[in-house]
């Protein structure tokens, strides 16, 4: 295969991969606590006998954008946002412990505290389960206090505490489910330094404007690679015609 055709073909393919990552980010521009995936291109040599001059383009995800999203006040007692660094521990679908910044919490009819996507929020002894109450408060340290039905405000008592953690972001990896875990696969300890803001949620850190600009740039890049393949095809056809004349 002509080396220029190979470069153009691989470039077009990887532009589509990068476009998929960018589209995923854009689709989550309104997802609570979402962290954007980063993407970049780099040239890679083709290994093998007789191919030292061939290269191809590879789109890769060098990491995650951990910049904090915009804090949005909601006034809802179950909504919490992390102030600064930190994560909320949740139970993933596979039963493992994972971490998220999504603080749009819900309470099921059975009293189970979950995220907006239905993942159980972890406390001191596993998933947080709350009794029926007239009022509930979530403190800045994650402590959940309730006033039992029929009681007065003087009976406000703590029933559990949301597990808040703060591992190094360099030690974290984002899974296909959008949740974060430690690269080691282990669970991290509770951090007393993480603070919550009640009545607010953290929005996505995706910039819609930047994502749209990237979408246009990647579309143009793909078109350029396709044009290059067409040019190579035309040149090969012209060369073949000259050979027939000779």
- Least confident range of 4-8, 96-100, 204-208, 223-227: 4-8
Burial zone of 42 (CB within 10 Å; 0-12 exposed, 13-18 middle, 19+ buried)? exposed
Structure tokens at 41: 């291109």
Residue 179 has pLDDT above 70, yes or no: yes
* pLDDT (average), residues 109-115: 94
Average pLDDT score over residue span 5-29: 88
Domain ranges across the chain = 3-66+206-245, 71-202
**Which of the given ranges, 3-7, 147-151, 213-217, has the highest pLDDT on average?**
213-217
Dist. CA 143–CA 151, nearest whole Å? 20
pTM of the model: 0.82
Cα separations in angstroms, 95 against 33, 112, 126, 163: 21, 15, 11, 16
Q: What is the predicted pLDDT for the residue at 2? A: 64
Report pLDDT digits (tens) over 60-69: 777 899 999 9
d(CA 124, CA 97): 13
Q: What pLDDT score was predicted for residue 154?
A: 66
pLDDT confidence of residue 148: 79
The CA distance from 196 to 182, in Å, is 22
Residue 19, number of CB atoms within 10 A of its CB: 19
pLDDT at position 143 over 70: yes
Which residues have CB under 8 Å from 81's CB, separation 6+?
71, 72, 103, 196, 197, 200, 201, 202
pLDDT of residue 235: 77
């Amino acid at each position: 295969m002509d080396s220029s055709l190979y470069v153009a073909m691989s470039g077009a393919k990887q532009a589509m991969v990068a476009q998929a990552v960018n589209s995923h980010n854009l689709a989550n521009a309104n997802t609570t606590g979402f962290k954007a995936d980063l993407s970049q291109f780099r040239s890679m040599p083709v290994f093998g006998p007789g191919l030292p001059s061939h290269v191809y383009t590879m789109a890769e995800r060098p990491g995650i954008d951990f910049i904090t999203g915009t804090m949005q006040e909601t006034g809802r007692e179950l909504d919490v946002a992390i102030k600064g660094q930190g994560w909320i521990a949740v139970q993933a679908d596979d039963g493992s412990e994972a971490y998220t910044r999504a603080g749009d919490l819900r309470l099921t009819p059975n009293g189970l505290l979950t995220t907006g996507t239905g993942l159980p929020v972890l406390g001191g002894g596993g998933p947080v389960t709350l009794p029926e109450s007239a009022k509930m408060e979530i403190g800045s340290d994650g402590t959940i206090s309730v006033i039992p039905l029929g009681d007065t405000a003087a009976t406000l008592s703590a029933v559990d505490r949301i597990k808040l953690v703060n591992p190094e972001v360099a030690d974290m990896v984002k899974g296909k489910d959008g949740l974060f875990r430690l690269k080691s696969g282990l669970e991290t300890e509770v951090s007393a330094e993480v603070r919550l803001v009640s009545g607010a949620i953290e929005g996505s850190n995706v910039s819609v404007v930047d994502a749209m600009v990237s979408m246009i740039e990647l579309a143009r890049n793909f078109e350029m690679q396709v044009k290059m393949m067409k040019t190579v095809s035309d040149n090969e056809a012209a060369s073949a015609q000259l050979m027939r004349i000779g």
